[in-house]
Chains A and B, each alone.
Chain A
Amino acid sequence: MNLPLIVFFFFSFLAVAGAVMVILAREPIHSALSLILVMTALATLYLLLGAEFIAAVQILVYAGAIMVLFVFVIMLLNMGVEERTDFSKLAKFAGLPLAFVLLLFIAHWLWHSPVAGAAASGPGQTTGFSTVDLSRLLFTSYLFPFEATSILILIAILGAMVLARKEE
């Protein structure tokens, strides 16, 4: 066992445990905190893959902004324990087996895909992705999608304000 592999297994265990806790937690606030754990573990895995910029954005935007928004709304609405349902028969007998089949199918495809075992990753082999190159790519080849996302953000701000406004 070498160090990158140990780090990978530790943080992937944390991520999977957090995702399981998202499902099992009965109070929405516990689900939200478990999801923050998943996102932080994934940020560490991005660092292991050499993507420092994405790791920073993951912490700042996902764990910092989006999840704070979730926690804020949960506390604003004062949610208690989630109703443990009598979930619908469709979800019980079709949803769970189909989700399991999907998981199995994706895992099977990944093991047999040509890219799977081909390349190795880790900071030892190559240096990390350069943030300068990433921003150059973003402002040349992907300039139009980048501008389009700014319009998307603007529309989202307007939509959120219109939806959450109190009606007189």
Chain B
Amino acid sequence: MNVPVSYYLVLSAILFGLGVVAFVFKRNVITVFMSIELMLNAVNLAFVAFARARNQLDGLVFVFFVIVVAAAEAAVGLAIVIMLSRNRESLNVERVDQLKF
């Protein structure tokens, strides 16, 4: 017997929930970014599992696009983090609550 698709979907849901928890609890800007990456990974797993269940390739194309968007988001986000650390002392998200300073 093979692994049922529902197992993959439940694992994806667990990882997404852990990503949400990390997003809510972490206070460092970088770790908040990492929790976003964790959620994107969980969604990718669900895409691949559905692609396997329906035996269609379209889900894999979407995973490809999600990875590309994640790369672009990480590049811009980390540039913002570097700028923040240059202008501010702290990277705690509770202290970085203004867009302009």
Contacts and interface: CB of A to CB of B under 8 A. Distances in A.
B51 A138 contact: no
Interface in A64-113: 65-66, 69-70, 73-74, 76-77, 79, 82-83, 85, 87-88, 91, 95-96, 99-100, 102-103, 106-107, 110-111, 113
Contacts of A42: 41, 44-45
A14 to B, nearest CB: 11
B96 interface: no
Q: Binding site of B, secondary structure by majority: helix, strand, loop or mixed?
A: helix
A167 B90 CA distance: 20
Given A49-B52, A119-B52, A79 B11 contact: no
B33 A110 contact: no
A9 to B, nearest CB: 9
Given A16-B14, A49-B49, A153-B68, A70 B38 contact: no
Given A76-B82, A107-B10, A121-B5, A152 B53 contact: no
A156 B76 contact: yes
Contacts of B19: 19
B24 A117 contact: no
Interface residues on B, range: 35 or more
Contacts of B55: 119, 126
A120 B3 contact: yes
Contact of A70 (B18, B30, B92): B30
Q: Binding site of A, secondary structure by majority: helix, strand, loop or mixed?
A: helix
A91 B25 contact: yes
A83 B92 contact: yes
A5 B9 CA distance: 15
Nearest to A115: B53
B83 to A, nearest CB: 5
A115 B50 CA distance: 8
Contact of A156 (B49, B51, B72): B72
26 contacts: A4-B3, A5-B3, A16-B18, A22-B22, A23-B18, A32-B30, A46-B48, A48-B3, A49-B48, A54-B63, A54-B64, A57-B64, A58-B67, A66-B70, A74-B30, A77-B85, A82-B27, A83-B27, A83-B92, A91-B25, A96-B25, A118-B5, A120-B5, A121-B4, A159-B79, A164-B79
